[in-house]
């Protein structure tokens, strides 16, 4: 099963998971550290009217909401995002933050409503199209999600297409479209050689194809590219078991138990329980 990145470590651009048998995907979500909206304030000397003031309030509140979300303050993020929307009901950034807050609270249905609203407000902006596609895939609509990633990639101003490509590859795998999955994941790696999602996805594909040595190479790169998660360690253990290196497989199981004691599954026939 695919890993899941922390919500604040994913892609928003404010101006701007795997194969059959997997239970969970990794998605690239809004990255509130990367903003691409207008930072300059309105020119009050020229036109200090209500609309200008409201736009300024909305921008300020979005920035505060982003900071609150990065710090794990979900209540503060929601409060500031809603204040931004009162000032500017078409603030797609504020709507997306509400989606992120809902998702981190486990309210996937509510998150989906906000992500869908975001693409209605910004129907050609890649980051928001990617977010909605990722939500669809995580909600059991992997095949449907692919057209949204395609739309995201059609945005020539989309600053980080690797995000949509990696998500598309993971979701294509879930939908049983292995050929597309491998194509998109390899394209993502061509743009970002350290993309952890693409590396993990290709490791799984190579293992399922029976190419254990190739799978090991991708798995090792995945573990070097980003902190380990349960899925990556289970996959690494499965690969070593396939290669006949039971000692290496056991070491990954030990890491899994030590670093993620609540995780299930060892990759060696053990259910992961002590």
pLDDT of residue 40: 27
CB 252 within 8 A of CB 233: yes
Residue 24 CB neighbours (<10 A): 15
pLDDT of residue 49: 81
pTM of the model: 0.78
Determine which of 62-76, 190-204, 220-234, 254-268 has the lowest per-residue pLDDT on average: 254-268
For residue range 60-95, what is the model confidence (pLDDT) as tens digits? 999 999 999 999 999 999 999 999 999 999 999 999
Q: Please state, in angstroms and rounded to a whole number, the distance separating the CA atoms of residues 213 and 242.
A: 9
Joined together, the tokens standing for residue 169 give 């590859």
Q: Which of 140, 113, 143, 118 is nearest to 130 (CA)?
A: 118
pLDDT of residue 232: 97
pLDDT of residue 265: 56
Q: Mean per-residue pLDDT for 10-34?
A: 37
Q: Please state, in angstroms and rounded to a whole number, the distance separating the CA atoms of residues 14 and 167.
A: 19
pLDDT tier for residue 144 given thresholds of 50, 70 and 90 = very high
Q: Which CATH architecture group holds 7-192?
A: Alpha Horseshoe (1.25)
pLDDT tier for residue 52 given thresholds of 50, 70 and 90 = confident
Rg from Cα positions in the chain: 20
pLDDT of residue 260: 96
pLDDT of residue 47: 53
Q: Mean per-residue pLDDT for 28-34?
A: 40
- Kindly list the domain boundaries of the chain, sorted by start residue: 7-192
Residue 263 pLDDT greater than 90, yes or no: no
Joined together, the tokens standing for residue 88 give 């500017």
Query: What rounded mean pLDDT belongs to the chain?
Result: 84
Q: By percentage, how much of the chain surpasses pLDDT 70?
A: 78
Q: Please state, in angstroms and rounded to a whole number, the distance separating the CA atoms of residues 130 and 146.
A: 10
- 83 by Cβ neighbours in 10 Å (0-12 / 13-18 / 19+) ranks as middle
For residue range 194-217, what is the model confidence (pLDDT) as tens digits? 999 999 999 999 999 999 999 999
pLDDT tier for residue 23 given thresholds of 50, 70 and 90 = very low
């Amino acid at each position: 099963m695919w890993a899941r990145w922390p919500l604040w470590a994913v892609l928003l651009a404010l101006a701007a998971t795997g194969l059959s048998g997997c239970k969970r995907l990794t998605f690239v979500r809004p990255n509130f550290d990367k903003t691409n909206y207008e930072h300059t304030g309105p020119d009050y000397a020229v036109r200090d009217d209500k609309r200008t003031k409201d736009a300024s309030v909305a921008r300020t509140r979005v920035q505060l909401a982003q900071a609150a979300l990065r710090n794990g303050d979900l209540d503060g993020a929601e409060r500031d995002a809603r204040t931004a929307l009162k000032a500017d009901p078409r603030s797609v950034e504020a709507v997306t933050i509400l989606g992120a807050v809902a998702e981190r609270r486990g309210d996937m249905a509510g998150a989906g409503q906000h992500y869908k609203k975001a693409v209605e407000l910004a129907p050609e902006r890649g980051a928001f199209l990617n977010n909605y596609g990722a939500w669809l895939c995580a909600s059991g609509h992997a095949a449907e999600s692919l057209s949204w990633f395609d739309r995201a990639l059609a945005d020539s101003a989309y600053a980080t297409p690797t995000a949509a490509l990696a998500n598309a590859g993971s979701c294509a795998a879930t939908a049983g479209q292995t050929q597309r999955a491998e194509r998109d994941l390899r394209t993502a790696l061509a743009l970002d050689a350290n993309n952890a999602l693409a590396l993990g996805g290709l490791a799984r594909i190579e293992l399922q194809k029976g190419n254990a040595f190739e799978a090991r190479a991708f798995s090792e790169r995945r573990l070097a590219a980003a902190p380990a998660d349960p899925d990556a360690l289970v996959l690494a253990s499965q690969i070593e078991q396939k290669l006949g290196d039971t000692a290496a497989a056991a070491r990954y199981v030990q890491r899994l138990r030590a670093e993620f004691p609540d995780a299930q599954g060892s990759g060696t026939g053990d259910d992961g329980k002590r």
